[in-house]
Structure 1
């Protein structure tokens, strides 16, 4: 069984939870998946009732995958990425703008990771994006230290260029709207 098939199934399940407005406890979700991989029948204790059918299907797919150790690493990395995106999308409007932009930074990298995983599946492409996006993160930090309008314009221009070159769309950080 292909690991991308398993990750795609997890992606679908997480989105079903979001669609049904079910609060996702990502630690609990990871524990459930780890127990499935370990063939521990107590995984069901961590499974919301609304997705038990989907989890049973996922379990049958996971059972066909041979390298369980690698699978745990990949699934954990994937769930952590999804969690970062979800945290940004659901962040409270009362938190300081710099905190929102920290969440934004993680969400962009993780969104690109997921996109690249399913579309391109080129780790070097993701690494290049991450390295280039790091420079934008430095500029965002500089903006909050200096509150300089020119830095904001540079962030905007660099993001537009980066997103165009990588054929990736995402919102802008809060600092670009200030």
Structure 2
């Protein structure tokens, strides 16, 4: 979780290790960016500044920029009733209104990492500067935005183990 701010700026993620449940894979799905994990050799083959194209769906990396044609689908706006509940994993306040407007039953996992990273200062530092209330207020504002947008649907919030090197 120490590189969440980098993930938010990334246009694709390629790693040597990991699988479908790796942090990078989960976060990339949430951010809507292509990701290939578990390549075993990407960091040895790719170089800084090299232009590549990443096809996360096929698990392929291409040298250079590959032009793609975006496919569109006619998706019904009608809310289909099922017994299956659909909950989203979400952490970015800038997406909350758009996602809340979709046919979802709530937030299954609202993670603290992105909200804390957006505050920009480690909670321990803020407390040491007698600014603990400021941290709590900013965090409450972020959580409140999710609760308001999804009301009356549930929002499951997960706190974080704050490590000194991560924020």
TM-score past 0.5 threshold: no
TM-score norm. by structure 2 comes to: 0.30
